[in-house]
Amino acid sequence: MEVATDEPSTPIKQDTKKGKLRFYPYNINWNYGLLPQTWEDPSHKNEDLDGVAGDNDPVDVVEIGSSQLKMGGVYRVKPLGVYAMIDDGELDWKVIAINSADPKAAAVNSLEDVEREFP
């Protein structure tokens, strides 16, 4: 599922890739979301990453907390790290975060803490 940024009111809908519905053949054990009012600019080339440009989507959030969150919900999260993924030649930033209300949020403040708390 993803936010349809090219439609009025930006609804959440089934993701497509190359014109086909996108399905994952494995379980996703995290919550996947975005940072509202952000945008990965496809005209900006990141020279630190061989000149790859943004994917024209909001910045993604991978929330790794202890529970499944409601689709479309808005949550306060604590960022733990960030990584750049290149998907089909486009730069796709991912913020690794934990829901601030998660029972483990106080114990997780870095990626090293993630390894300890979520082995």
The predicted structure's pLDDT at residue 114 = 92
Pick the residue with more confidence: 37 or 108? Answer: 108
> What does the alpha-carbon distance between residue 74 and residue 34 come to, in Å, rounded to a whole number?
10
The predicted structure's pLDDT at residue 118 = 87
The predicted structure's pLDDT at residue 82 = 94
| pLDDT tens digits along 49-103 | 999 999 988 999 999 999 999 988 999 999 999 999 998 899 999 999 999 999 9
Mean pLDDT of the chain: 90
9: phi then psi, degrees, rounded to nearest 5: 70, 10
The predicted structure's pLDDT at residue 25 = 78
Contacts of residue 109, Cβ cutoff 8 Å, sequence gap at least 6 = 78, 80
pLDDT at 1 exceeding the cut of 80: no
Bridge pairing between strands 2-3 and 12-13: antiparallel
The predicted structure's pLDDT at residue 6 = 81
The predicted structure's pLDDT at residue 12 = 84
Q: For 42-51, what is the mean pLDDT?
A: 94
pLDDT at 13 exceeding the cut of 90: no
